[in-house]
Structure 1
Amino acid sequence: MTIESLLPLILFALVSTITPGGATTLATASGAHFGFRRSIPVMGGFAFGLGSMACAAAAGLGGVLMALPMLQIAMKTLGSLYLICLAVRIGRSGQPRAAGQMARPTGFLAGVWMLWHNPKGWAMTMGAAASFAALANSPLTLAMLLGLTFCVMAAFSLTLWCALGQLFARTLNAPRQWRVLNIVLACLLVASIIPMWLD
C-alpha cells in the first residue's frame, strides 16, 4: 500500500470532515467561547466518534444499523433533539466569560455520542467502506485504515474550525456582535439537522 493509493481516501475523508455541519459548527462555537485548549475534549470526541464509526461501518455494524428503519428514526430523533438543545444553549449565550453563560465546554463523551447518533455519518462511512474496500486485504485492516484516516482528518478539520472560532473571539468586542455570531452559529447547527432527515 503506497501513499498514492491512499490519496483518494484521504481526500474523501478531508472533504467529508471539513465541510460545514454540526461538528464543525460546535467546534467553531467552542473555539470562540472557550479557546482551543478547552475545546480539545469535544474535538477529540468528534474525531474519535467518526473514526470509531468508520471502523464499525467497515466491520459491518453500519449495514446492520442502516437495515433497521425504526433504529434509524430513533437515532435521528435523539441526535436532532441533542443538537437543538446545543443550538439553544449557543444562541442564548453572550460574550465569553460572561457570568453564568456557557460556563462549561461540551465534553469528549458528548462529542462521541453526537457522532454516533447521526445516520448520515453512518451512510458516509459505509460509502467509504464500500468505495475503498480494495485498499485492504481484510475487513479488520480496512476498519483500522478507515478509522485512522477519518479520525486524523476530522481532528485536522475541526482544528481549523476551532481556530476560526478563536479568530472570532479576538475580533468581536461588542455584545451585539457576539449576539449575532451566537444566533448565526445556532441557526447553522439547527440547519445541519435537515440533511439528517433527507433520504
Structure 2
Amino acid sequence: MSAFAVAASVSPGPVNLLVLSTAIHVGWRGAMPLVMGASAGFTLLLWLIGIGMVELWQQWPLLRHLVRLGGVAFLIWLAWRLARSDGELDMDRVAEPAGACTGAFMQWINPKAWLASVAGMGAFAADGDPALVTVFAVLWGSLCALSISLWALAGGQLNGWVSSPHRMQCINRGLAGLLVLSAGLVLLG
C-alpha cells in the first residue's frame, strides 16, 4: 500500500511540476503552502472516492469529461504563464506564489489524482470499510506530502543555480512543455 502511494505521489505530474517551479522562484519554504494544500486536497479526494464517490464518477460521464477539460484548461494556462516568464528571479518583486488553495484545487481537476485514487482504493480498500478507507487516506496523504516536498526541495536547490534569467527561461519553457504534454496525454486518456 505504501509503495503504491509513494510511486503514485512522487512520479511527475502537473502538481509536482507546479511545486518544482514555485520552489525555484520562492524557495522550498515558500512552496510549502502549495505542498500542504495539494496533499490535503488529494487526501480528501481519495477519502471521498473510497467512501463511494467513485460511483458518482462512473455514473456521470459528463463529470469525468468536465474534470478532464477543466484540468486540461488549467494545465494550458499554467504552461502559458511559465512560457511567458522573463526568467527574472527578482526576490524584491512582490509576487504571490501558488498557495494551498491552488494546490487543493489542482488535485480535484487532476486526472492523475482521480485515476490513482480510484486504482488505490480499488486495490487496497475496495470493500469501502470506513475505518480502512480512512487509514489508507491518512497514510497516503502523509506519503503524498513527503513526496511532493521532495519536488519543493529540488526546486529550492535549483534556486541558486538558476540565477541567470536565460537558465530560468529554459527551465520554465521546459516545464511549460511538460505541462502541455501532460494536457495532451489527459485528452488522449
The answer to whether residue 129 in structure 2 is matched with residue 139 in structure 1 is yes
1:1-199 alignment to 2 at 5 Å? 9-93=1-85, 94-97=87-90, 103-133=95-125, 139-199=129-189
Residue by residue over 1:144-190, the C-alpha shift from the partner in whole angstroms, topping out at 9 and shown as x without a partner, is 12211221111111111111111211112221111101101111122
Which structure 1 residue ranges, 4+ long, deviate > 6 Å from structure 2? none
Residue by residue over 1:102-146, the C-alpha shift from the partner in whole angstroms, topping out at 9 and shown as x without a partner, is 811112111111111123322221111111127xx8621122122
| Counterpart-to-counterpart distance in 2, 1:183 and 1:66 | 36
User: What is the identity, as a one-letter code, of the residue corresponding to 2:24?
Assistant: A
| Counterpart-to-counterpart distance in 2, 1:133 and 1:71 | 23
Displacement of 1:99 in angstroms is: 7.0
* Unmatched 5+ stretches in structure 2: none
Cα RMSD over matched residues?
1.9
Identity among equivalent positions (%) equals: 27
Query: Which SS does the other structure have where 1:192 is aligned?
Result: helix
Contact persistence 2:89–2:163 (CA under 8 A): no
* Unmatched 5+ stretches in structure 1: 1-8
Displacement of 1:70 in angstroms is: 1.0
Query: Which SS does the other structure have where 1:162 is aligned?
Result: helix
Contact persistence 1:118–1:196 (CA under 8 A): no
Give the stretch that moved more between structures: 117-126 or 159-168. 117-126
| Counterpart-to-counterpart distance in 1, 2:133 and 2:184 | 29
What TM-score do you get using the length of structure 1 for normalisation? 0.87
User: What is the identity, as a one-letter code, of the residue corresponding to 1:28?
Assistant: L
Residue by residue over 1:52-94, the C-alpha shift from the partner in whole angstroms, topping out at 9 and shown as x without a partner, is 1110111010231133111111111111111211122122222
| Counterpart-to-counterpart distance in 1, 2:185 and 2:21 | 20
What TM-score do you get using the length of structure 2 for normalisation? 0.91
